[in-house]
Amino acid sequence: MTSAPSVPAEVPVPAQERAAVVAAADTGVYRHLVLAAPAASRARPGQFVAVAVGDPTSSAMLLRRAFSVHRADPVAGTVEVVVAAHGPGTAWVCARDVGDVVDVVGPLGTGFDLPASGRLVLVGGGYGSAPFAWTAASVPAGVVVDAVAGAGDAERLCDVDGIRAAVEATGGRLHVTTDDGSAGRQGRVTDALADLLAEPPASAGTATGVAACGPMAMLAAVATTAGRATQGSGRPVTVQVAVEEAMACGIGICMTCVLPVRGADGRTRMLRSCTEGPVLDAERVRWDCVGAHGASVPADAVGAPEGGAA
Ligand SMILES: Cc1cc2nc3c(=O)[nH]c(=O)nc-3n(C[C@H](O)[C@H](O)[C@H](O)COP(=O)(O)OP(=O)(O)OC[C@H]3O[C@@H](n4cnc5c(N)ncnc54)[C@H](O)[C@@H]3O)c2cc1C
Ligand code: FES
């Protein structure tokens, strides 16, 4: 699949650091934390940090929790996260306030491949939209960024004002969807994405890329929608997805986060989404083997047990 040339990106080296919470606020159902973490502040859009939670002698709190970087500022030495209380680990993070100190490892994983020209459409579901104001502000001049931010309801939309301002600064627009219609258009992010991709490009030859972040089912639906748009218009749409597979270590050791991904040679391998992702080429992910509770090993994957595996 052809794509616009991208901006060469330097890969920052991760480090473990004790990070003071320098600002904290509740916004909708989310807790927004600004952490003084100079190493993690060198993150690129799409990368994540892993935060140690609570009492490490409690088995429920043993593992670090992964959070996408909402924004990073290497000059201020800060990294920001937006967290939804889900279970014990995220509840602990959401209870942090100014002056608390958290143990952070980052920046981790791969970032988005930002285009050097053309059009980029950002698609976020719930807190999956967290990195997108920063992503839109990071593209080179001349790239037009549109965005679709969706959620179950208005309270679960994330950083709508920040994303709107950042995409409008590039000449693009933000489209909001909610499942219940409590804000924006009632429906799924893919409804708005399909309409956006059906629009003719501003000029002939303008490449369109999509970058998406959200629940796995949404990412699979975004890949399908972009595939249909490519077939319908004959204009290829490349899709990068920041996957959110369960990550126990975040640094490539434990293999809890593996996903089946087709390589350039056409063969499927189980890749660690924490180190070889979380940003992956959607066209290469074997969505047929990815479920709500993790991925299965396709029978034709390199190294798959005889007769396939569950
Ligand atoms: C790359 C990435 C980016 C993410 N970004 C965000 C974000 O920006 N904002 C946000 O709110 N959430 C984000 N998440 C989801 C967040 O990491 C989970 O909601 C969180 O780990 C859940 O922990 P919990 O203790 O609250 O919940 P629970 O699911 O109740 O945890 C229960 C048990 O599961 C274990 N466990 C928890 N998480 C994992 C895991 N990842 N792998 C293996 N075992 C685990 C815990 O040890 C615990 O014992 C992201 C996840 C990933 C992988
Ligand atoms: S989370 Fe441990 S290898 Fe990816």
Report the run of H or E that residue 66 belongs to, with start and end: strand 65-68
Residue 245 Cα to ligand 2 midpoint, Å, equals 9
Residue with tokens 């929790």: 65
Q: What DSSP string describes 132-199?
A: HHHHHHHSPTT-EEEEEEEESSGGG--SHHHHHHHHHTTT--EEEEETTSSSSEES-HHHHHHHHHHS
Report the run of H or E that residue 221 belongs to, with start and end: helix 216-233
Is the C-beta atom of 65 inside 6 A of ligand 1? yes
Residue with CA nearest ligand 1 atom 7: 67
Residue 88 Cα to ligand 1 midpoint, Å, equals 9
Dihedral of the CA atoms 228, 233, 238, 241 (nearest 10)? -30
Spatial separation of the C-alpha atoms in residues 279 and 105, rounded to whole Å = 18
> What does the pLDDT read at residue 209?
93
Q: Which two tokens stand for residue 259?
A: 């996903």
> What does the pLDDT read at residue 96?
97
Cβ pair 262, 268 in contact under 8 A: yes
Instruction: List ligand 2's pocket residues with C-beta within 6 A.
Output: 247-250, 252-257, 272, 274
Residue with CA nearest ligand 1 atom 9: 83
Pocket test for ligand 1, best of 57, 67, 241 (most atoms within 8 A of CB): 67
Is the C-beta atom of 278 inside 6 A of ligand 1? yes
Closest by CA position to 292, among listed 230, 220, 222:
220
Is the C-beta atom of 88 inside 6 A of ligand 1? yes
> What does the pLDDT read at residue 2?
46
**Ligand 1 atom nearest 274 alpha carbon:** 1
Is the C-beta atom of 244 inside 6 A of ligand 1? yes
Residues of the chain with pLDDT under 50: 1-2, 310
Residue 109 Cα to ligand 1 midpoint, Å, equals 16
Cβ pair 135, 163 in contact under 8 A: no
Ligand nearest to the CA of 48: 1
**Ligand 1 atom nearest 243 alpha carbon:** 1
> What does the pLDDT read at residue 274?
96
Spatial separation of the C-alpha atoms in residues 188 and 154, rounded to whole Å = 13
Ligand nearest to the CA of 65: 1
How far, in whole angstroms, is CA 9 from its chain's centroid?
Answer: 17
Spatial separation of the C-alpha atoms in residues 34 and 19, rounded to whole Å = 9
DSSP at 238:
E
Q: Which domains does the chain have, with CATH numbers?
A: 15-108 (2.40.30.10), 119-242 (3.40.50.80)
Cβ pair 99, 21 in contact under 8 A: yes
Is the C-beta atom of 130 inside 6 A of ligand 1? yes
Please state the φ and ψ torsions of residue 28, each to the nearest 5 degrees: 60, -130
Ligand nearest to the CA of 215: 1
> What does the pLDDT read at residue 8?
59
